[in-house]
Chains A and B, each alone.
Chain A
Amino acid sequence: MQFAQPSSVKEAVTLLVKEKGNSYILAGGTDLLVKMKSGSVEPDLIVDIKGIKGLGEIKKTASGFLIGAAVPCAALAENAALAKAWPGVVEGASLIGSKQVQGRCTIAGNLCNASPAADSVPALIAAGAKAVVVGPKATRKMAIEDVAIGVGRNALKKGEIISGIELPKKLPRSGDAYLRFIPRTEMDIAVVSCAINLTLDAKGAITKARVVLGAVAITALLVKGAAKAIIGSKLDAATLDKLAAVCSAACKPIDDKRGTKEFRVEVAGVLARRVAKIAYARAGGKI
């Protein structure tokens, strides 16, 4: 096994391209090391990106935020501007694992690990975030919802690495929120989760919406029908019922040790209602 600590993204990409065996990127390591311990992965090369300048920073830009791929999730909550603009995103990232895990894990890693239950992914999708993907020949931007393509599988090509995640500028009268269902109060993998990002008009009616469900399909689901169901409304009771029904219907869940299909379908609807109300209040709406 080789362990490399490149000092630039270009160097990291070169290492990944050259490696003929199994190569893995190490940011927080909270997924990779668990897989190494169980023997489910056997890396030939580990590329530690934490030494790369700039990847450990959160930059506030004119067009929003750029979160470097090596930023630990704990740092997201510590960034006042980010927490104020995107509380839903920060909520999701702050729920991964435990305080110990949050001191290391990254949203880029959470995304690329491609667990259907990843906590930081739904709110990033709802926010319309993009991943900055650097490859040997080019740099491209991908919508977050296009990164994970299956359980544990992502769309990155050989040699590509996410250098950062861009969050757009927060629009006025907007709010986002994230909730997940877990049986205990902490430490569990989400059984069902939901993130919603809303923009309202001056009268409090929803003009833009993105509704995302997690842990109910092989990847997070951007439920376009759910957005349609609430746009134009002020989240009255009938609209909330419709939202819940559309979300429940959109689920493609499995039975597993964390929950049954019927449970996930039911609770997806319950969470959607609750998240919508929080996002609406954060956007300045009054129910």
Chain B
Amino acid sequence: MSLDLQNPKLVEKKFKVIGSRVPRPDGIDKVTGRARYGADFTMPGQLIGLVLRSPHAHAKIEKIDTSKAEKLSGVKAVITSADLPDLTKGDRMMLDLLENSMARGKALYDGHAVAAVAAIDLPTARKALKLIEVKYKLLPHVTDVDEALMPDAPIVHPHIITEGISSAPMKPTNWNKACEYGHGDVDAGFKEADHIFSRSFKTEQSHQGYIEPHSVSASVSPDGTAEMWVCTQGHFVYRNQCAQLLGMDASKLRVTSSEIGGGFGGKTHLWAEPLALALSRKANRPVKLTMTRDEVFRATGPTSSTSIDVKIGVKKDGTITAAFAELRYQSGCFPGNWAEVGAMTAFACYDLKNVKTIGKDVITNRPKTAAYRAPSAPMAAFAVENVIDEAAKAIGMNPVDFRIKNAAHQGTKSSYGPVYGPIGIGPTLEAAKNHPHMKAPLGKNQGRGMACGFWFNFGGQTCVDLNVTPDGKVTVAQGTVDVGGSRASIAMAVAEEMGINYEDVRSVIPDTSALGHNDMTDGSRGTFSTSMAAIYAARNAITVLRERAAKTWDIPLDEVEWKDGAAHAKGAGHGNRTPLSLADLARKAGRTGGPIAGHAETVADNAGVSFATHIADIEVDPETGRSQIKRYTVIQDAGKAMHPSYVEGQYQGGAAQGIGWALNEEYVYGKDGRLQNAGFLDYRIPVCSDLPFIDTQILEIPNPNHPYGVRGVGETSIVPPLAAVSIAMTNATGVRQTHLPMSPPRVLKSLKGKK
């Protein structure tokens, strides 16, 4: 069955800069050690901040005595929640953020902050922490998502009752939210089916694993102004939230985002930043607070661990007649909506008449979860794709063909509601089917798996400020933090629009005082929305440039066109006017109306959903359960790849994270509810020798809602790997793998179970 390959007019546009592999502007700084990350900043007179954290999973804090710490020579401030009054005016989400950054009467997880100090140096700060006396009363704890739903589970928050269910709940619970998505009639659909496949899956908790620990330098002045240097994916959001929590005017808090050493969603939330500000305010000196790796694992925002049930009904010819899933996700100790997102994405790749997903968001005594690259989608895809694989095998159909038959396309009503425009799932499946990887022979103890994945991609608020310098070059100031090289793509977009050289565009990310609000770099929106705003800003600047040329020539504006980096007089009688270049107009700017600039403040919408198909080959040692990825291919739709190297990099990086999550990464909790592997030694992310080269194929089905057809690309690549790798493992071992990660002990046990 052939699919419509979407082919809007944009595909034919010939680009001069877009699509080339230019060097990134921050490359030299990053290869020479000059680039400054969160912890690379120093403020004169700064103190070192350090946080005291609960060693208990769940405990009432009966008393905190900080007097001895305060008396220690060299200690300039000690804070507890008493120094962070509730100024949220009933905003529960913000109060949860405040409480997560420092406990308010109850420690809710191992690692929960209970106090903090600022001292003249690190050894003094460490001594001070030891002098703080905390009296805890231990409470029963719960860390597993299914256990937290049991009737006798310890309740984490007495004020939480389930939101979103029809019967009015009365008792406090750990189940904070219920949701349902879908359409049609699944009961009828299952009745129509020739075969029904039903399975349950579990995924353990993983962390984004960025190499740079969080670091913030904060300086609060007695007049209420403050500065913060911090590694973050969203300095505007951090500014707004910190200001609110500390009772400051947002406009008086100037936040500069440092270069960021990885985030993947984990640096979109506040962690210790309010504490640094509170310490600085109390000590009346700048405070630098850097987390240790142990703190990063224990007290920032890993992703949810999950428990998922999937049921699919199919006809003999491979048509899916009904699809159902119940997804239970734990969000740590504060409410989240992660199960809801999982419920939305679970069946998004497919064109289904009858589909229903139920999401249950659950609270546990674990750190508050944060987004991790296409949050919630990878786990849902793991569960769904495995049952799809099982169904295809059972009816004897090629797994790719099975998916092609049921794939969503333009006009499909998605399982989460909206109707799709032109999308890439079909093309990625066709490309996978024809990819040489699919035909490569497999060796002994090797298995191959393929899987699809989906992500929404987001737009959001974006500001770009474009200024033409007197020497005729361009500076583009953007508010979205550059996490992986996007500032190069933004410079490319401006160069393309203005018809000038890439090297003449300087792409920078200024502090919060210089631009209007910008949403975070998340949701794969960085390049998508910033390039859109940059294009609009460039077009606005071009209008100004044309006006200046019109003024210079004393001709009407509509007789001036901008082409190849210069203003041209068009129309009868103007033909022999020498074009005015950007440099010419810039030089004259003072006499024609002043500095030349272009702005855009937008809410970029319609980032374009993106689909991917991955193929994984794995080799298993049947005597030990140990496995190694032998070959991996990512096929994903990018809309239009502004800079192919960076798009490839996103594909490879997401795949590598997914592989680690599938094979070895998990939070290990003891019976005491304490995290046992809060370090890179035992939280095992892939090392260089664990992976092969990761092949990529970029498809371009343009997004009609972006001037160049760009779609978000950063996240989708982490969605299929859990499924592709587990299906490959299933094929290599002959046993369906349902519990991630597939660590050697789990795999070996499953093999023994088979016998």
Contacts and interface: CB of A to CB of B under 8 A. Distances in A.
* Touching chains A and B, CB distance < 8 Å: yes
Interface of A: 37-39, 181, 183-189, 191, 256-260, 262-263, 266-267, 270
B677 interface: yes
A270 B677 contact: no
A257 B664 contact: no
Interface string B663-703: 11000100000001100011010110110000000000000
Interface stretch (B224-232, B357-365, B489-497, B620-628): B620-628
B690 A260 contact: no
A184 B745 contact: no
What is the interface of chain B mostly: helix, strand, loop, or mixed?
Answer: loop
Interface in B595-653: 623-626, 628
Contacts of A191: 744
A260 B664 contact: no
B682 A257 contact: yes
B689 A185 contact: yes
A184 B687 contact: yes
B748 interface: yes
B626 A183 contact: yes
Contacts of B684: 183-184, 187-188
28 contacts: A38-B294, A181-B624, A181-B626, A183-B663, A183-B684, A183-B743, A183-B744, A184-B690, A185-B628, A186-B689, A187-B687, A188-B681, A188-B684, A189-B681, A189-B682, A191-B744, A257-B676, A257-B677, A258-B682, A259-B744, A260-B745, A262-B745, A262-B749, A263-B745, A263-B748, A263-B749, A266-B748, A267-B624
Contacts of B623: 267, 270
Contact of B687 (A186, A189, A259): A186
A184 B664 CA distance: 8
A15 B748 CA distance: 51
B50 to A, nearest CB: 12
Contacts, number: 56
B668 A39 contact: no
B126 interface: yes
A262 to B, nearest CB: 8
The 8 closest A-B pairs by CB, nearest first: A263-B745, A185-B689, A257-B668, A270-B623, A257-B676, A257-B677, A260-B745, A185-B690
Contacts of B626: 181, 183
A263 B744 CA distance: 9
A185 B624 CA distance: 14
Chain A residues touching B, majority SS = loop
A185 to B, nearest CB: 4
Interface of B: 126, 292, 294, 623-626, 628, 663-664, 668, 676-677, 681-682, 684, 686-687, 689-690, 743-745, 748-749
Contacts of A262: 745, 749
Given A185-B690, A259-B745, A260-B745, A270 B624 contact: yes
A184 B688 CA distance: 10
A256 B682 CA distance: 11
A262 B749 CA distance: 9
A46 to B, nearest CB: 15
A212 B677 CA distance: 28
A3 to B, nearest CB: 14
B119 to A, nearest CB: 16
A261 B749 CA distance: 12
Contacts of A256: 676
A189 B682 CA distance: 8
A218 to B, nearest CB: 19
Contacts of A185: 628, 687, 689-690
For A38, A189, A266, the residue with the greatest tally of chain B CB atoms inside 10 Å of its CB is A266
A85 B484 CA distance: 49
Nearest to A191: B744
Contacts of B686: 184
Most chain A CB inside 10 Å of its own CB: which residue of B628, B682, B686: B682
Nearest to B622: A270
Contacts of A184: 664, 684, 686-687, 689-690
Contact of A183 (B292, B294, B664, B676): B664
A184 B681 CA distance: 11
Contacts of A188: 681, 684
Contacts of B745: 259-260, 262-263
Nearest to B294: A38
A267 B686 CA distance: 22
A260 B749 CA distance: 10
A131 B588 CA distance: 83
Given A183-B664, A263-B745, 17 more contacts: A183-B744, A184-B664, A184-B684, A184-B686, A185-B690, A186-B687, A186-B689, A187-B684, A188-B684, A189-B682, A257-B677, A258-B682, A259-B745, A262-B749, A263-B625, A266-B624, A270-B624
A37 B663 CA distance: 29
A39 B628 contact: no
B660 to A, nearest CB: 9
B126 A39 contact: yes
Nearest to A260: B745
Contacts of A39: 126
A227 B749 CA distance: 29
Contacts of A260: 745
Contact of B681 (A181, A187, A263): A187
A186 B292 CA distance: 23
A189 B680 CA distance: 11
A233 B748 CA distance: 30
B688 to A, nearest CB: 8
Contacts of A257: 668, 676-677, 682
A262 B625 CA distance: 13
